[in-house]
């Protein structure tokens, strides 16, 4: 590059020509070189394709693994929900069966008294009022005619009932074994609701069939049981008779009660055909109009009850609804991958295009170096070792406005942009040390005073410096525009990442909502079950006591009947808020167990501490002074509480803790309600 001798200390040094370079293996522009270039292009495309495929697999494979994990978690959740439903249903059946046994054991004494029928009716009504799952009880003679009838206050039954022509009585008479608990097929009551009845046969003095003791299950309580397990709108739950009759379903628009589920290909038929007590199935079914679902089914037939027919509880969801969050996330990932593929393809294509263009230009310059030096197409310059111009090609006149002999014998340094002088000196040093320079970028002023961007390369041969330069003004402008485009694409990617983070935050919020009871705001049954299992495992490890308080609002059904369901909901919220204020420790958990029943889980708490807290909770609710004119206990809303304390180990179980607290709650109710009862160890 030309430079004045007084412009740089290097101007006083004499440049020595570099040693000649070895001949290249393939001459530029030859067929061999073109084959090498094509192989290089193909290799770059293969590498890009491999990288994009690996990135795509890294994004898609974990996504589908998460899809499978999401399905599996939902299957486990539905199975846990049916387990809870089974436990609640078994408690309901056991309670009804105990009442039937109690009535049957008193028959002999009633028959010996003149007022025995009245006593029987009174006892039947007491059982129907006391047990939430029973709407009425009947004592039938051998012909199916009622001897005594008792129903809760919401049901009005005639004093005389003839059930001889009903399918339930005929089935029970055929199953005359007094040891069997006879579960009737679903039937419609006079009020239009579908239900079932439980019955045990009564033997006469001669040992023959002498009648039935019947307990009619309350369908509303079954619906409450099912509703307590629903945590999302598309979830549905049902109780089905062992022969396929649909007893109740929640929500009611998901099926027709009384309809047979024992059709070929249905989930129910597949479950019963498997012979397994528990099934978690996925697929399509004619009963769901071929809509893909995930459904957990559990057969309920406790051995202790000796039921002649099982019941089946089921809980299910639409598969598409389960996968909706995953589908949204997957769509965003696909968009990101498509953008990545597009950017990578465009970038490589532009890069190869630019490189091919550079190679073509270099080939043209080399080929025309000696033949067309005076061509107006090439910016060629020959300098002496002192940096003075010896010759310029005609292209300088076309681009810069100079004639071919305008700068002969002069330095070109004054025409170089002042900011590029350090780079000019560095190029001179490179020529002096290695005999060549390449990719030297600088700006040079033309005759009009405007600066053009040039890219130069040169070599020292025979005491002369041969320079080849090209105008890259437009190319640099294009690269800057491409850089701006890449910046815009990065902004788009950042925006997509922000939206992904928002979706993830929404998913976390939905998960938090799924663990809260919608009415009261306290933990729901699902959250309670998770915490109970976790604290049980912690108690086993640490050998620390675990206490459970089961509490129930006294005569809450009467409260609803008196003040209406809206007032009942307000009462539940007020009681839940007061109870939550009384539960202080971080690991203590208050949960809505079902209906008007709540549970308080107390880790590392013995029976004394649990009793103190239970009494405090009872007093907190009583001093709320929520009016309850229908209560037989007080004029305000009160609680009955049952406590069970265990030190978890291998010999005890969660069921024992739950059953103990439930039994203590039942004892508190028997002793007059509005009190705390502790289960015996």
Report, as residue numbers or ranges, the catalytic residues: 596
524 in Cβ contact with 536 (< 8 Å): no
Structure tokens that stand for 555 in this block: 């005569």
Residue with tokens 């330069």: 469
CA distances from 120 to 101, 110, 126, 197, 207 (A): 13, 7, 10, 19, 22
What is the sign, positive or negative, of the torsion defined by CA atoms of 571, 572, 574, 578?
Answer: positive
Half-sphere exposure of 549 (CA within 13 A, CB side): 34
In 3D space, the residue among 89, 100, 129, 33 whose CA is nearest the CA of residue 360 turns out to be: 33
Omega within 30 of 0 (cis) for the link into 251: yes
In order, the DSSP letters of 423-459 are HHHHHHHHHHHHSEEEEEEEEEE-TTS-EEEEEEEEE
Pairing of the two strands 546-553 and 597-603: antiparallel
What is the sign, positive or negative, of the torsion defined by CA atoms of 257, 260, 265, 266?
Answer: positive
Half-sphere exposure of 635 (CA within 13 A, CB side): 1
127 in Cβ contact with 103 (< 8 Å): yes
Structure tokens that stand for 563 in this block: 């003040």
Strand partners, 260: 245
Determine the Cα angle at 325 with ends 53 and 83, to 5°.
Answer: 120
Radius of gyration of the chain (CA): 45
In 3D space, the residue among 349, 348, 365 whose CA is nearest the CA of residue 29 turns out to be: 365
Q: At what angle do helices 654-670 and 525-542 cross, to 10 degrees?
A: 120
CA distances from 77 to 72, 103, 196, 526 (A): 9, 39, 28, 8
Structure tokens that stand for 106 in this block: 């008193």
CA–CA dist 306, 301 (Å, integer): 8
Sheet strands side by side (includes 451-461): 389-392, 379-384, 464-471, 451-461, 436-445
CA–CA dist 391, 374 (Å, integer): 10
Structure tokens that stand for 643 in this block: 């406590």
124 in Cβ contact with 106 (< 8 Å): no
Residue 120: in which H helix or E strand, if any? Answer: helix 116-130
3-state secondary structure of 500: helix
């Amino acid at each position: 590059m030309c430079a004045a001798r007084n412009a740089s200390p290097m101007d006083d040094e004499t440049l020595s020509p570099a040693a000649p370079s070895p001949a290249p293996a393939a001459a530029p522009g030859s067929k061999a070189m073109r084959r090498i270039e094509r192989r290089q292009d193909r290799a770059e495309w293969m590498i890009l394709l491999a990288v994009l495929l690996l990135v795509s697999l890294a994004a898609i494979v974990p996504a589908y693994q998460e899809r499978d994990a999401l399905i599996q978690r939902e299957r486990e959740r539905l199975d846990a929900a049916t387990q809870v439903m089974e436990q609640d249903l078994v408690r309901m059946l056991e309670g009804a069966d105990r009442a039937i046994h109690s009535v049957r054991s008193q028959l002999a004494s009633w028959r010996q008294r003149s007022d025995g029928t009245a006593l029987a009716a009174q006892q039947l009504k007491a059982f129907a009022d006391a047990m939430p799952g029973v709407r009425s009880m009947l004592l039938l003679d051998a012909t199916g005619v009622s001897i005594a009838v008792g129903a809760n206050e919401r049901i009005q039954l005639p004093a005389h009932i003839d059930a001889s022509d009903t399918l339930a009585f005929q089935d029970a008479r055929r199953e005359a074994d007094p040891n069997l608990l006879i579960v009737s097929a679903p039937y419609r009551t006079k009020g239009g609701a579908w239900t079932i009845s439980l019955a045990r046969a009564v033997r006469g003095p001669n040992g023959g069939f002498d009648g039935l003791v019947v307990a009619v299950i309350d369908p509303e309580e079954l619906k409450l049981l099912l509703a307590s397990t629903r945590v999302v709108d598309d979830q549905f739950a049902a109780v089905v008779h062992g022969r396929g009759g649909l007893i109740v379903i929640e929500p009611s628009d998901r099926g027709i009660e009384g309809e047979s589920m024992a059709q070929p290909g249905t989930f129910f038929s597949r479950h019963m055909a498997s012979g397994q007590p528990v099934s978690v199935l996925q697929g399509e079914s004619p009963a769901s109009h071929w809509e893909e679902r995930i459904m957990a089914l559990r057969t309920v037939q406790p051995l202790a009850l000796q039921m002649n027919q099982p019941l089946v509880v089921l809980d299910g969801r639409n598969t598409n609804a389960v996968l909706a969050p995953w589908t949204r996330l997957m769509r965003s990932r696909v968009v990101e991958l498509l953008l990545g593929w597009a950017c990578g393809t465009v970038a490589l294509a532009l890069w190869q295009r630019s490189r091919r263009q550079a190679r073509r230009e270099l080939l043209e310059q080399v080929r025309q170096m000696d033949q067309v030096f005076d061509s107006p197409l090439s910016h060629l310059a020959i300098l002496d070792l002192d940096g003075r111009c010896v010759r310029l090609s005609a292209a300088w006149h076309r681009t810069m406005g100079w004639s071919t002999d305008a700068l002969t014998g002069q330095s070109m340094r004054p025409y170089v942009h002042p900011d590029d002088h350090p780079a000019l000196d560095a190029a001179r040093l490179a020529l002096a040390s290695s005999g060549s320079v390449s990719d030297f970028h600088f700006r040079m002023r033309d005759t009009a005073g405007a600066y053009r961007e040039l890219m130069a390369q040169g070599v020292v041969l025979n005491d002369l410096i041969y320079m080849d330069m090209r105008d890259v003004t437009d190319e640099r402008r294009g690269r800057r525009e491409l850089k701006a485009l890449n910046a815009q694409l990065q902004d788009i990617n950042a925006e997509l990442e922000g939206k992904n983070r928002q979706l993830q935050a929404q998913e976390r919020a939905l998960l938090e909502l799924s663990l809260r009871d919608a009415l009261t705001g306290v933990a729901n049954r699902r959250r309670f079950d998770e915490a109970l299992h976790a604290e049980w495992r912690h108690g086993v490890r640490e050998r620390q006591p675990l206490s459970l308080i089961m509490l129930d609002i006294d005569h809450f059904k009467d409260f609803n009947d008196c003040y209406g369901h809206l007032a009942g909901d307000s009462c539940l919220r007020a009681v839940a808020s007061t109870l939550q204020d009384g539960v202080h420790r971080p690991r203590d958990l208050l949960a809505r167990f079902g209906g008007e029943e709540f549970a308080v889980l107390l880790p590392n708490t013995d029976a004394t501490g649990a009793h103190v807290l239970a009494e405090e909770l009872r007093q907190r609710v009583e001093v709320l002074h929520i009016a309850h004119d229908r209560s037989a206990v007080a004029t305000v809303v009160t609680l009955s509480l049952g406590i069970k304390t265990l030190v978890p180990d291998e010999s005890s179980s969660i069921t024992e803790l739950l059953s103990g607290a439930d039994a203590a709650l039942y004892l508190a109710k028997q002793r007059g309600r509005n009190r705390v009862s502790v289960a015996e160890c």
